[in-house]
Structure 1
Amino acid sequence: MRTLPPFPTLRAFLQWNAATGQLTALSDPVSVRHQMTAVHRAVLERGGPVLRFDHPLLDSGSRAQIPVVTNLFGTTERVAAGLGVAPEGLDDLGAFLAALRAPSPPEGMRDALSRWPMLKAAMATRPKLVNSAPVQQKVIEKVDLSTLPIQTHWPGDGGPLITWPVVLTRPHGSKPEVAARYNAGIYRAQVIGRDRIILRWLAHRGGAAHHRTWQQAGAAMPVAIVLGADPATVLSAALPLPETVSEIGFAGVFSGARPRLTPAKTVPLMVPADAEMVIEGWVDPAETAPEGPFGDHTGYYNAAEPFPVMTVSALTSRADPLYLSTYTGRPPDEPAIIGEVFNRLTLPVIRGQIPEIRDLWLPPAACSYRMAVIAIDKRYPGQARRVMMALWGMLPQFSYTKMIIVVDADIDPRNWDDVAWALATRMDPARDVMILERTPMDYLDFASPDAGLAGKIGIDATNKIGAETTRAWGEVMQTAPEDAAFAADLLARRQVVQ
């Protein structure tokens, strides 16, 4: 499905961005404390290029020896490119991924042969194990994280925060070489000392589930934090995949090549061989520390809460590594832009489970997943409510969606004027609003009455049919097609409007 060249490494993707005029190197000294975020944010909000800060200043005032790359996914075009396609190819890629996850039996030899790209993609999910890896050209076991250009993003932040870390874990009792059992997640990682990091993973996330298995065994859990992975691996770790799907395997689907893994130096894990850096270490089964506060995607600072602590055992890297970073804040930010692309990618998957859905939009301004507008092909009474409940239960991320608006297929869910009209003319607050109480919610949502538990609202803004109403329903006014064609021809000939 790729229409772009392969990007097996972060460097390959940066070279492509440079060749297409989408990378700017900054030689000016820029502090990792607040200044870098301010520059990045200003460029992102203008739809600007990838930034490479060649002379980052550490908190000590000295220059870091490692350049910082930011704004890698600052446009939807670059997110699509990281997946190997142009923006117009996202819908086809989404359909392809949906078919790959739930293939139907072939209907004859011709159909079977037409599925060769799918078979090839499936083969690409099998990692290739290598013994010699660029990411281990340098190995440091007495680690001092203060030498890395780790940013402190906002004035109220509790300290330096590693962003875009691909955190690799596996469940207790699994074998290190079985990468299909791994979880790769993007979690907040706060530096609290020379060799200590707090990992903030919520209870429903894969890393937390793996940690519980090691806690039950009373054993420390091996962890690898991958910094500067290839774009497909970073995006796969951020994608809301089902728990049974390997993020590392999906990275192979996106990149079009088998992921290259190598044994870590000090922990029993396999790590991406071509990444820029890997922080290896162990998470204690019991030790926690207060994480935060940090500015988050809600646009507010979250409160400090206890999360597990990782003790670093080694830092491996390329001979001349790059440090990939980003900031998180009120949209727009890179996660919100990625969310727009993932919205298109996951729609075919969602329709595979809920086929009456015609379109779905997660407004980026609503922190991506906090609100959803769904257009459905409505056929029976109560269908809108069934769709709401199905979406809330489909993926863990949708359990955090606190407002769902369901509209008919004639409404564009991305057009707020359309949605407002549907709400004003097809919805009665006493009849068409469903309220749920004490359901799962992101701990970062301080609007919730209880941490981790909150209400949900579903609004049925569809035309009412059957038992849903006792009144005659209104008929939508539309211009007759022949009159619309006449008007268009007249205006074009007279050049009234362009």
Structure 2
Amino acid sequence: MTTSTTSTSPGAPFTDLRRWLAHLSNSGRVAVMREDTPLQHTLAAIAKRLDGRQAAYFPKPGGHAVPVVSGFMSRRAWIAEAMGVPESELLQRFRDAAERPLRWQEVAKGEAACQQVVHRDRDVREVLPVPTHSEHDNGPYITAGLVIARNPATGVQNVSINRIQVHAPDRMAILMLPRHLWAFYKTAEARNEALEVAVVIGIDPLTLLASQAIAPIDCDELEIAGALHGAPLRVTKCLTNEVRMPADSEIVIEGRILPGVKEPEGPFGEFPKYYSAREHREVIQVDAITHRREPIYHTIVPAEMEHLLLGSIPREATLLAHLQRSFPNVLDVHLAIGGVGRYHLYVKIKKTHEGQPKNVICAAFGAHYDIKQVIVVDDDVQVHEPQQVEWAVATRFQADRDLVVIQGAQGSVLDPSTTIGQEFGDGVAPPPHLQGLSAKMGLDATRPVAYHEHVFTKVRVPGEDEIDLAAVIDTAARVDFAVGAMR
């Protein structure tokens, strides 16, 4: 079977999961496994080995009738291809969609493919092939489920991806970080009401990407998906609640996050490539499961490229827009994969004033609390190539004048280094208001605006970028190096 990763030229966006998978398959980017791959660890291990090279498709995993797919968004170039743009235009296209969302179009329930089959009073673990991923995970987890909820105060929806532990036939523990879903839940809980949700599994690549947009609380990410599609997203109402979800999705779990109820969740291998602790988390009560006929289940292997890219690219687009509002000379940004696509930000600027990079650093820290390290470089450095950024730090940065350190700031609660030095007893987690306490570090790796002669001029050989190697290499020629003759 081929292992090609070749992508085609930009074209129309892919607005259907099955058409996208067929496209990847036709270009050698889907590997089909033998039947009966075990759902516990083995499925994730195979998908991880193929990470970034091929999507993995598992027919009848663990003897289950529903197939599983993973890794169909595991290369940056593939994501641009799904959007129908060159990779260089990826962030701008996402930014345009986020700034100009399209209101979704509601269709009748009978027209919704995701409601062709309905299950009530069924064990989630029997209906769906939910894998167990990492070594110490506390059982099977839904990792690619779009959690859609309505703001109890306004009715506006929010979409996010949350880890969900399936630990009972009709109950699932969910991790909610202090973002929009959490705010919706706390509003409902204050009223002693459950928060209605839909957990959508198996969705087109652009809606999946849109779910990770860093948008205001009153922005429905399904409308960003519509803008990426170029047409309003088809949605339908759940059978048991008022949530609207994508009508053409593969699988939907309808339920309610219960007020005042918590059950043990974790440990779980998260995106920083460490395990988060076992704690008591909020609980989804499952009311129904609906799906297409012969559905496809999507799982994301935690901390691998599909996970990291889906989180980093929408953040990059948002960060670029945020920084350019104050600094029009910011040219590009990149959330480094070495910084798990969340913590380390590289910023390229056309520097005009001394001290400007430090202002950019401060603005970047204020843009998203996950950011832990910012490196600002000049416009001759490619921020998507970590080796070039490291070169800029090595030759343009001095710690005594170019380092910015901010102590005691809010950071990521999933960064295990933030808990060091906080002791609350064996096995006792810090209270929520002390979790994620972090230091921030900024590095100004830019050259001076004015410098003597060619001291900071990057070495370049004239013609190195323009030369056509195919025209100058004689592929038929052979040299006899023993005598120095060419034949």
1:53 corresponds to which of 42, 52, 58: 58
Contact 1:375–1:413 under 8 Å retained in 2: yes
Taking the TM superposition and a 5 Å limit, the aligned residue runs for 1:349-388 are 349-350=321-322, 352-353=324-325, 354-388=327-361
Taking the TM superposition and a 5 Å limit, the aligned residue runs for 1:78-477 are 78-83=78-83, 85-86=84-85, 88=86, 90-92=87-89, 94-99=91-96, 124-132=102-110, 133-147=112-126, 148-175=128-155, 181-203=156-178, 205-329=179-303, 332-338=304-310, 341-342=313-314, 345-346=317-318, 349-350=321-322, 352-353=324-325, 354-394=327-367, 398-448=368-418, 449=420, 451-464=435-448, 475-476=454-455
How big is each residue's C-alpha offset from its partner over 1:107-149, in whole Å with a ceiling of 9 and x where there is no partner?
xxxxxxxxxxxxxx75x44333323111111111102012121
Aligned mates of 2:163, 2:410 — CA distance in 1: 20
Per the alignment, do residues 95 and 421 of structure 1 end up closer, same or farther by CA in structure 2, a change over 3 Å counting?
closer
Asked if residue 21 in structure 1 is aligned to residue 28 in structure 2, the reply is yes
Contact 2:104–2:234 under 8 Å retained in 1: no
- Kindly state the Cα deviation for residue 100 of structure 1 after the two structures are TM-superposed: 5.7
How big is each residue's C-alpha offset from its partner over 1:275-333, in whole Å with a ceiling of 9 and x where there is no partner?
1111111111211123211112212212122221011011111122111112113xx42
Tell me the equivalent position of 1:60. none
Contact 2:361–2:374 under 8 Å retained in 1: yes
Q: Secondary structure at the match of 1:311?
A: strand
Per the alignment, do residues 198 and 412 of structure 1 end up closer, same or farther by CA in structure 2, a change over 3 Å counting?
same
Tell me the equivalent position of 1:108. none
Tell me the equivalent position of 1:115. none
TM-score (norm 1): 0.82
Contact 2:97–2:228 under 8 Å retained in 1: no
Aligned mates of 1:367, 1:373 — CA distance in 2: 13
The count of corresponding residues between Structure 1 and Structure 2 is: 450
Structure 1 unaligned regions, length at least 5: 58-62, 103-120, 176-180, 467-471
Q: Percent identity?
A: 28
Contact 1:67–1:322 under 8 Å retained in 2: yes
- Structure 1 counterpart of 2:70, one-letter code: T
Per the alignment, do residues 453 and 242 of structure 1 end up closer, same or farther by CA in structure 2, a change over 3 Å counting?
same
Q: Secondary structure at the match of 1:28?
A: coil
The more displaced of 3-12 and 439-448 is 3-12
Q: Secondary structure at the match of 2:281?
A: strand
Structure 2 unaligned regions, length at least 5: 1-8, 421-433, 478-487
Contact 1:157–1:294 under 8 Å retained in 2: yes
Aligned mates of 1:352, 1:372 — CA distance in 2: 15
Q: What's the RMSD between the two structures over aligned residues? A: 3.1
TM-score (norm 2): 0.84
Per the alignment, do residues 82 and 241 of structure 1 end up closer, same or farther by CA in structure 2, a change over 3 Å counting?
farther
Tell me the equivalent position of 1:71. 71
Shift >6 Å, 4+ stretches: 491-498
